[in-house]
Amino acid sequence: MKKERKMLVVYNTCGINRDNTEWYIECINSLLNQNFEGFHVVWSSCLNSSQCIGKLYSIFGNKISYSLVGDPVTVNVTFNKAVQECVKEFGEFESYLYVDSGCSLDDQKDILAKLYESFKRDDTLNNGIISVQADTDEGLDQLGNEFKYESSQIQVTNEDYVIPVGKAINLHVSLFSNKIYKQYNNVLPDVFAAFCTESTFSFLAASVGLKWVIMADRQVRHLKAIDGPVASQPHRVAAPNKEGQIMHDNSWNNLLYNRSALDFINDEEAIQFGLGYEEHQNIMVHDTAAYDNGRALYPDKLAASIKKYLFLSDAELDYNKIKAKFIS
């Protein structure tokens, strides 16, 4: 691997429902073909078959690293695991790029360079999370009527679009600052069984003094749910109380290890310090008084709330005990 560690590119797949080996090969090649120096690719695999793993290793060998998880855990966890293993092996990177299994950069060889340029741009509130536009399942309509849910046409042009605090789009291809990793010893909030992770990103960025933006003038091809819908955990958790009554059975209260979103939704201090959640459903709307033009006024206290409620404890999930193999 090159000495410069500008960007760790994590390509994420899941073989619980099926393998898409030939597609994975195409996508990884589109990453390796980038005209950019200082990046490294790691394949983050969850329960892909031995045949699939063997085929990819025979093609890519030591051109990439391999984080091969053998437990049925979420993509948030497998991504974090890949980042942690690569940091142990190579040291910290300036940034970490999440790439969904359904995304290909095709022949656009400047995507990583453009991402890094946006990441390093110097302004009053630096970019901490940068998302690349996708042609399907993008969710830009949540930002305002000027956008469509999805479009084959690039919707954000000329300059990066700052996502307002409390708003969100879908993850797909997104870059995260090392400041987030250093704050939480992880990148993606890992409390979620499925759904809702992206609704926390604007707060995640604000907690380290940064903002979330959409990169202008580029769009990637996205094949929706190519590996199937989230398969390692149920999409709904019906949690009974002590009397056996169902307390919640919905997408926004679907957390791991018997956690309840009601704990932070009803935490007045968390709200006071700027935390929000699933605001497009009006589940937990942040207090605008906790921000000044997008900048968190209480970043340390906001970070403490995020750490407490949105990241699992070591007692709940010890990443070192996940069944996995790492090949550098």
> What tens digit of pLDDT does each residue of 59-88 get?
999 999 999 999 999 999 999 999 999 999
Burial class of residue 305 (count of CB atoms within 10 Å of its CB; 0-12, 13-18, 19+): buried
How many domains does one find in the chain?
Answer: 2
pLDDT in tens, 105-146: 999 999 999 999 999 986 656 999 999 999 999 999 999 999
C-alpha 58/C-alpha 283 separation (Å) is 48
Is residue 266, in this structure, part of any structural domain at all? yes
Q: Please check whether residues 199 and 263 belong to one and the same domain.
A: no
- The reply to whether 323 falls in a domain is no
Residue where a domain stops, chosen among 226, 253, 282: 226
Same domain, 77 and 195: yes
What span, in angstroms and rounded, lies between the C-alpha atoms of 95 and 229?
27
Whether 78 and 204 share a structural domain: yes
Q: What is the value of pTM for the model shown?
A: 0.94
Q: Which of 151-160, 217-226, 229-238 has the lowest mean pLDDT?
A: 229-238
CATH of the domain at 156: 3.90.550.10
pLDDT at 251: 82
**Structural domain boundaries, residue 294:** 239-310
Find the Cα–Cα–Cα–Cα dihedral 169, 92, 302, 200, rounded to 10°: 20
- Asked whether residue 321 is assigned to any structural domain, the reply reads no
Residue 315 inside a domain? The answer is no
Residue owning tokens 């390692």:
232
